[in-house]
Each structure stands twice: as C-alpha cells, then as structure tokens.
Amino acid sequence: MKNSALVVVDMLYDFIDGSLACHNSDSAVAQTLKYIDSQTKGQGGEEHEILDTFPILFIRDHHPADHSSFKEQGGIWPSHCVAGTHGGEIHHDLQPYVNEELTFDKGCDRATEQYSGYEGVNNAGQSLGEVLELLDATDIYVCGIATEYCVRNTCEDLLKAGFKVHLLKDCLAYVDHEGHVKALEEMKAEGIEIE
Ligand SMILES: [Zn+2]
C-alpha cells in the first residue's frame, strides 16, 4: 500500500507471557503475522523490498532495571521489559521483519514513564514521527499491546501529529477486556479508524 506503514507496539515477551502478560496476546501476534503476510505477499520476502512498499516499524518498551514505573520503585507495574532481558525482546515470529533503524525504544530514562511509541527513538536518535515522514507515510496502521495504554497513547499522538490512523482491532492484546472495549470506542470517537 502506497504511503502507508505498520507500527507494531510492544509485542514483547513480558507483555505476551511474562511479568505483565496481557489477554489475547498469542492471537494478536498470529493475526499481526497474517496481516503482514497479506500486505507483503508476492514481494519475494527480500527485506528491502518489503520495507520500500510497506515499512514495518517496531516500538519497544525498554527500561533500565530500576525504572520508576516498577513497584519496587513506587510505580504501579511489576518489573518488565528490562533492556537486554528476554522479557524485553520482540516476539520471535516477528523477528524476520525487524530492522534496527525502524525500531524505536521508549521508557529508557529511569525517571520518565513513556506509554507512547511516538516518543520512542531509533538507534540513530530519530523519532518515530521523523522516520514516518521520511518514509512518506501518511496512513499509519497500528497493532500491539496493550490497547488501553501504549497502543492508545501511540495512536492518539500519531493522530495529533496529523497522520491518518488505522487501528487493527484483531491484532491487539489488553490488560482488561472492558477497558479494551471502552478504549476502542473512545478512540473511534476521536477519529481513529478501527479496522
Ligand atoms: Zn513499561
């Protein structure tokens, strides 16, 4: 699809089957792979070809071991997604699509909570918004974990920045089902397309 890109938020082991495991994670990963397949089919699977036609960008929650959002530090979450641990890795099945320059880390600073992937930066120090503009992407498809927190914040920031945002509802996992449904309704009312 021309001028579009996929942003995969926090499909990391701690959110899938680790310390902060979310509902529907396995299905969300499987559906995401199916979606990627449907968008990249017939392009030979060569990395550069896929990236040229339908860039896939990954967001990673990426914390120091003493991050302020952790319960031991007075935060509300169990320890999760510590940089360099298995829990902070992107799901194995998605690895073939991961490109360092299109991977954006957030929550790296001890004192700052960052739910939004929009605040993430890649290894060259570029922000998600900057890279989406360089890619000429105007329509951003979003999937990931968790609907109510990092997915929602990412979608809302993209919308505020002027992108058209499409949320892939089958490719989401969540902390709480009711919260998930409510977040979808509210995002729809804000102008995010639920697909
Ligand atoms: Zn976190």
If DSSP states are collapsed to H, E and C, what string results for the chain? CCCEEEEEECCEHHHHCCCCCCECHHHHHHHHHHHHHHHHCCCCCCHHHHHHHCCEEEEEECECCCCCCEHHHCCCECCCCECCCHHHCECHHHHHHCCHHHEEEECCCCCCCCCCHHHCECCCCCEHHHHHHHCCCCEEEEEEECHHHHHHHHHHHHHHCCCEEEEEEEEEEECCHHHHHHHHHHHHHHCCEEC
Which residue, among 138, 148, 144, 153, has the nearest Cα to 178 in the 3D structure? 148
The CATH number given to whatever domain includes residue 155 is 3.40.50.850
Ligand 1 center to 81 CA (angstroms): 6
| Mean pLDDT rounded to a whole number for the chain | 93
Kindly state the average pLDDT of the residues 26-45: 83
Describe the strand order of the beta sheet including 139-145 as a list of residue ranges. Answer: 103-106, 56-61, 4-9, 139-145, 164-173, 193-194
Each residue of 43-101: pLDDT tens digit? 545 554 555 678 999 999 999 999 999 999 999 999 999 999 999 999 999 999 999 99
Examine the pLDDT at 188 and tell me if it is beyond 60. yes
CA 98 to centroid of ligand 1, rounded, Å: 20
Q: Which residues are catalytic?
A: 10, 61, 63, 69, 80, 106, 113, 146, 150
CA of 56 to the centre of ligand 1 (A): 21
In the structure, ligand 1 is a single-atom ion and the residues with CB under 5 Å from it are 61, 107
Q: What distance in angstroms lies between residue 7's CA and the mean position of ligand 1's atoms?
A: 17
How many separate domains does the chain show? 1
145 alpha carbon – ligand 1 mean position (Å): 11
The predicted structure's pLDDT at residue 2: 78
pLDDT tens across 93-131, in order? 999 999 999 999 999 999 999 999 999 999 999 999 999
Give percent above pLDDT 70 in the chain: 93
Within 8 A by CB and 6+ apart from 166, the residues are 139, 140, 141, 142, 192, 193, 195
Provide the domain limits for residue 25: 4-194
**In 3D, which of 2, 1, 7, 3 has the Cα closest to residue 102?**
7
Whose tokens are 């102008």? That residue is 191
